[in-house]
Chain A
C-alpha cells in the first residue's frame, strides 16, 4: 500500500465510490515524481512540426538538446525542424544579457537557411535575465523580411498547457498575413494533429476524397505559407483539444471561423469526425462521398479487427496520456477490441474532460490527474491490467511490471489515426499484450 500525498487526494477518483469533483489544473506538488513537463515543452511540441521554419532555442544548451528531433513529426518536404539550434548561453551571457548573441545567431541562420519564418523560444533563464526577445525579433524581421516570432515559453511560467497557449499565440501572429484569395468554400484547417508517424497524410487523404480542401495543417507537416492563409478556411477542425482550442477560439473571434472538436482515433470517432465536417458544409455530394468512404474503410479493416478482438476480449487496460480527449477516444477504441479501461489518467485534463471520462468509464474505474510512477504501478497491479498506454517515461514501468505497452505519444512508430490507424493500433495492442515474453515473468 502506498501513500497518496495529502495535496493529491482529490486528484485520484474511484468511480462508484467517490463523489467529489476531480481536482485538476493544479500545479504539481513539489517533490512529486510527476510525469509532467513545462511551458517550453508545451510550446516546442506544438510548433516543432512546422518544417520550413527555423526553430531556435534561446537559453543554455540543454533545452535545445532535449527537444532535438525527438518527436516523430514527419515532413513531406523540408526538414529544417529536425535540426537543433541553440544560443548556448554561458555565464557571461547570464551576467550581460544575450540579445546580441540572439541577433547574430538569427541573422546568420536566416542568411544560410533562408527559412520562411523563425520561432524564437524563450527558456526559463530569459525570463530572469530580462532579454528583450520581442525587440530582437522585430529588428531581425525588419531586416530580413520574414516573420520572426517570439514564443513566450519560459519554463516556470505555468504548466505545459500554458506552453500550448504561447504556441497558439505565436501561430496567431502568422495567420492572416498571407493572401487567402484562392481558398474555396469547402475548406478547413486541421488543428491539433502533428503528423506523428504520418497520421496527417492519412487524414488529408480522407478529406480529399470527401471533396474538402485542407488550407493548412497546424502543425503536422506544417508550412509557413499555408498557415499565413489559414484565415481563409471556412471551418477549423480541432483535434487534441488541449493544445489547440485556444487558437480556434482566437480565430473564431477575429475571423469568425467556427470550429468543431473531433478525434481521429477509433472507428466511431473517426467516422463522426468526417460526418461532422460533411454536415457542416451540408453539401449533398460531400455527404455522399463521406458515406462511401466510411463504409469502404470500415469494411476493409473489420475482418482483421475482429480477429484481434477475439484474442484480446476481456483484457484490462490503463491509460495515462497528456490530454483527456485522447483518453476518451482510447477508452472507446479499446472497447472495440473487447478491452475495458480500468485506470485512466491525464497530465493536463480539465474539469469538463474529467466529467466526460467519468460518464464513459465503468464502475470502479480509477481516474487520476497528474499521477506519478508509484501510484500508477499500484493501480496497475490492483486492477490486474495487461496493457498500459502512455509516453516515453511510462514505457519501462509497464515492462518492469510485466505488462504490454503502447506509445500514444511522440514515439508511436505506426500511424494510429484514421481507420487504418485503428487496425495498426489493434495489431500493436495484440503484439504487446500477448507477447510470449510476459510468460517468463514471475507474477504476483
Chain B
C-alpha cells in the first residue's frame, strides 16, 4: 500500500495540483533576504506563513532561520495590516536591531491591498526606523508564480531600494547568483576571485545559512551582502545574472535604471553552461582564464571521458525549478544521457520550448511541462521507465515506489545534507554531479548484478 496512489493512465487536470513541484513566492523572498548582511526578513501576513517558511528552510539548511511576522488577525484582514506592520517595524528595531527589515507580502496582505511602500514611509515619518537603518520590500502574492518568482522579486527589490549611481564607475562586476545554495554562492565567489575579477554578489547566503558552530547563537551571522555593497551595484561596470527567472529581473532593472550592461546566462551547472559563465567573466572583466580554472575544466572532461561508457543513453527524469532544469538538461545531454521527462511546477511559457531546444534530436519525444506536478512526473515514469531520477526530497516516494536510483537535487532537500557545503555550480560542482550520477547508477548495477557478473573493477 505504500504510497501506491498514482495511476498509469494520464488524464488532463485543470483544477487541481497533486503533490506539488513548486511552492509559494514568500519563501523565496525570505531566502533571498537572508542573503543581505544583518537583515531580518519579515512576512506581512498571518503567523503561519512565517512559521512554515522558517520550518521549511530550517529542514533544508539545518540552521536557525530568523524572520518576523505581522501576525495578522481578523481585524487586520478587514481594516488592513498597516497598524500591524508599523508595530512590527517598531518592535523589530527595538528588540532585534537588524540593519534592514526586508518585508515580503503574502496572499492575504496582497488581496486586502496593503501598500507596503506607503506604510514604510509612514514608519520613517513616525521615527520608527532609526537613522542608518532600512525597510525594503517586495510584492510576493502567493497566487502568482512560485518560490522562484519570490526570490526574483526580493532580489529586484534590493536594486530598487539600494542601488545608487554617483558618477564614478567602479572596477567591479555585479553577479546575481540565482536561487542556489550557499555552497554555490561561495563557489561563484571563489571562481571570480581565481579569475581576478572583483565582484559584488547579491544576494549572498553563504555565511548566513551555513554558519560554523561557535557555541553561540547569532541572530545575524557574519555572511551576506552588505548595504554598502548593494548601494555600490549602481556603479559597477556590468552585471552577470545567473538564471533567467531568478536573477533576470534585478539585472534588467540595473540596466534600465543605471545603464549597466547585463548578461543573463543560465546557471553555471554543467560543462557548457560553466564555459559560458567563465567566458563572460573573462570578457567583461578583461582578464584571461588562469591555469587553475582551465585545469578544473580539464579534470571534469577527463572524468567524463573515463566513465562515459556508464553514462551513455541512460534515461533520466527531472523535476525542479526552471533555471536549474535548463542547465541540468543541457549537462545531461553533454554527458550523452537522455533527459526524457522534465517537470517544473513553476508556470511560464518559455520553459517548455527552451528544454525542447536543448534536447532537440537527442530526445525528440521529450515529455516536458511547466505548471506540472510530481503526480504527472510519476505517471510519465510509469509509462516510460527511467534509469535515474533527479529532484528534491519529495522524489523519494517515486524513487521508492518505482525502485529507481535517485539523486537529491534542488529545493527542498529535507532528508540529506551536503547541499549547503558542496556546490553543483562551476567545473568542480559539475564534477560532483558526475560523481553523484555515477555513484547512483553503479551502486544500482552492483546491487542488481548476478553473482557471476558482479564486477570488482568498473
Interface residues of A (CB under 8 A from B): 2-5, 27-41, 59-68, 70, 77-80, 82-91, 93-94, 100-102, 104-105, 108-109, 112-113, 123-125, 127-129, 155-159, 373-374, 377, 392-393, 395-397, 399-402, 440-444
Query: Which of A31, A62, A129 interacts with B111 by CB under 8 Å?
Result: A129
Asked if B286 is at the interface of the complex by the 8 Å CB criterion, the answer is no
Contact between chains at A86 and B84 (CB < 8 Å): no
Residue pairs across A and B with CB atoms within 8 Å: the count is: 252
Interface size on B, residues (CB 8 A): 81
Alpha-carbon distance between A124 and B55 when the two chains are bound, in angstroms: 19
Instruction: Contacts A80-B5, A86-B20 given; indicate if A401 touches B108 (C-beta within 8 A).
Output: no
19 example contacts (A-B, Cβ-Cβ < 8 A) are as follows A31-B89, A34-B47, A34-B71, A65-B24, A80-B5, A86-B17, A87-B16, A88-B17, A94-B107, A108-B16, A112-B7, A129-B111, A157-B74, A373-B64, A373-B66, A373-B219, A393-B64, A395-B58, A395-B62
Contact between chains at B7 and A33 (CB < 8 Å): no
Alpha-carbon distance between A93 and B143 when the two chains are bound, in angstroms: 9
Alpha-carbon distance between A249 and B153 when the two chains are bound, in angstroms: 48
Alpha-carbon distance between A440 and B211 when the two chains are bound, in angstroms: 16
Asked if B186 is at the interface of the complex by the 8 Å CB criterion, the answer is no
Q: Which residues on the B side are within 8 Å of A100 (C-beta)?
A: 15
Asked if B54 is at the interface of the complex by the 8 Å CB criterion, the answer is yes
Q: Which residues on the B side are within 8 Å of A104 (C-beta)?
A: 14-16
* Nearest-Cβ distance from residue B49 to partner chain A, whole angstroms: 7
Contact between chains at B77 and A128 (CB < 8 Å): yes
CB-CB nearest in chain B for A441: B215
Alpha-carbon distance between A104 and B143 when the two chains are bound, in angstroms: 19
Q: Which residues on the B side are within 8 Å of A90 (C-beta)?
A: 143-144, 347
Alpha-carbon distance between A397 and B221 when the two chains are bound, in angstroms: 13
Contact between chains at B16 and A85 (CB < 8 Å): yes
Stretch from B92-100, B171-179, B273-281 at the A interface: B92-100
Per-residue CB contact flags for chain B residues 70-99 toward chain A (1 = under 8 Å, else 0) read: 111110110000001101111110111000
Q: Which residues on the B side are within 8 Å of A159 (C-beta)?
A: 47
Contact between chains at A393 and B58 (CB < 8 Å): yes
Contact between chains at B64 and A37 (CB < 8 Å): no
Alpha-carbon distance between A341 and B195 when the two chains are bound, in angstroms: 55
Contact between chains at A124 and B108 (CB < 8 Å): yes
Among B62, B65, B88, B215, chain A packs the most CB atoms within 10 A around the CB of: B215
Among B40, B47, B66, chain A packs the most CB atoms within 10 A around the CB of: B47
Alpha-carbon distance between A413 and B124 when the two chains are bound, in angstroms: 48
* Nearest-Cβ distance from residue A187 to partner chain B, whole angstroms: 28
Contact between chains at B17 and A32 (CB < 8 Å): no
Contact between chains at A401 and B96 (CB < 8 Å): no
Query: Which of B13, B14, B23, B108 interacts with A125 by CB under 8 Å?
Result: B108
Q: Which residues on the B side are within 8 Å of A393 (C-beta)?
A: 51, 54-55, 58, 64-65
Query: Which of B47, B62, B144 interacts with A396 by CB under 8 Å?
Result: B62
Query: Which of A28, A33, A91, A105 interacts with B143 by CB under 8 Å?
Result: A91
Asked if B46 is at the interface of the complex by the 8 Å CB criterion, the answer is yes
Contact between chains at B47 and A5 (CB < 8 Å): no
Query: Which of B7, B55, B64, B143 interacts with A60 by CB under 8 Å?
Result: B143
CB-CB nearest in chain B for A90: B143
Contact between chains at B52 and A124 (CB < 8 Å): no
Alpha-carbon distance between A385 and B51 when the two chains are bound, in angstroms: 25
Alpha-carbon distance between A402 and B2 when the two chains are bound, in angstroms: 38
* Nearest-Cβ distance from residue A198 to partner chain B, whole angstroms: 15
CB-CB nearest in chain B for A37: B51
Instruction: Contacts A31-B42, A94-B111, A402-B213 given; indicate if A61 touches B23 (C-beta within 8 A).
Output: yes
Contact between chains at B47 and A38 (CB < 8 Å): yes
Q: Which residues on the A side are within 8 Å of B76 (C-beta)?
A: 156
Contact between chains at B48 and A91 (CB < 8 Å): no
Alpha-carbon distance between A274 and B146 when the two chains are bound, in angstroms: 50
Alpha-carbon distance between A400 and B62 when the two chains are bound, in angstroms: 10
Q: Which residues on the B side are within 8 Å of A31 (C-beta)?
A: 42, 68-70, 87-92, 95
Asked if B423 is at the interface of the complex by the 8 Å CB criterion, the answer is no
Q: Which residues on the B side are within 8 Å of A63 (C-beta)?
A: 48, 52
* Nearest-Cβ distance from residue A111 to partner chain B, whole angstroms: 10
Q: Which residues on the A side are within 8 Å of B146 (C-beta)?
A: 61
Asked if B27 is at the interface of the complex by the 8 Å CB criterion, the answer is yes
4 more A-B residue pairs beyond the given contacts A91-B143, A401-B215, with a C-beta to C-beta distance below 8 A: A65-B22, A108-B13, A393-B51, A397-B217
Contact between chains at A68 and B20 (CB < 8 Å): yes
Asked if B235 is at the interface of the complex by the 8 Å CB criterion, the answer is no
CB-CB nearest in chain B for A82: B3
Asked if B322 is at the interface of the complex by the 8 Å CB criterion, the answer is no
Q: Which residues on the A side are within 8 Å of B23 (C-beta)?
A: 61-62, 65-66
Contact between chains at A400 and B94 (CB < 8 Å): no
Query: Which of A38, A79, A395, A442 interacts with B51 by CB under 8 Å?
Result: A38
4 nearest A-B residue pairs (beta carbon) = A38-B48, A62-B24, A31-B88, A31-B91
Alpha-carbon distance between A32 and B67 when the two chains are bound, in angstroms: 8
* Nearest-Cβ distance from residue B145 to partner chain A, whole angstroms: 9
Q: Which residues on the B side are within 8 Å of A38 (C-beta)?
A: 46-49, 51
Q: Which residues on the B side are within 8 Å of A401 (C-beta)?
A: 215-217
Q: Which residues on the B side are within 8 Å of A88 (C-beta)?
A: 16-17, 20
Instruction: Contacts A34-B71, A83-B19, A400-B64 given; indicate if A2 touches B107 (C-beta within 8 A).
Output: no
Q: Which of B310-348 contact A (CB under 8 A)?
A: 345, 347
Alpha-carbon distance between A233 and B366 when the two chains are bound, in angstroms: 57
Instruction: Contacts A88-B16, A441-B213 given; indicate if A128 touches B47 (C-beta within 8 A).
Output: no
Query: Which of A30, A70, A91 interacts with B87 by CB under 8 Å?
Result: A30
Q: Which residues on the A side are within 8 Å of B356 (C-beta)?
A: none
Instruction: Contacts A30-B70, A34-B47 given; indicate if A87 touches B15 (C-beta within 8 A).
Output: yes
CB-CB nearest in chain B for A376: B217
Instruction: Contacts A30-B88, A93-B143, A155-B46 given; indicate if A61 touches B20 (C-beta within 8 A).
Output: yes
Query: Which of B5, B20, B58 interacts with A113 by CB under 8 Å?
Result: B5
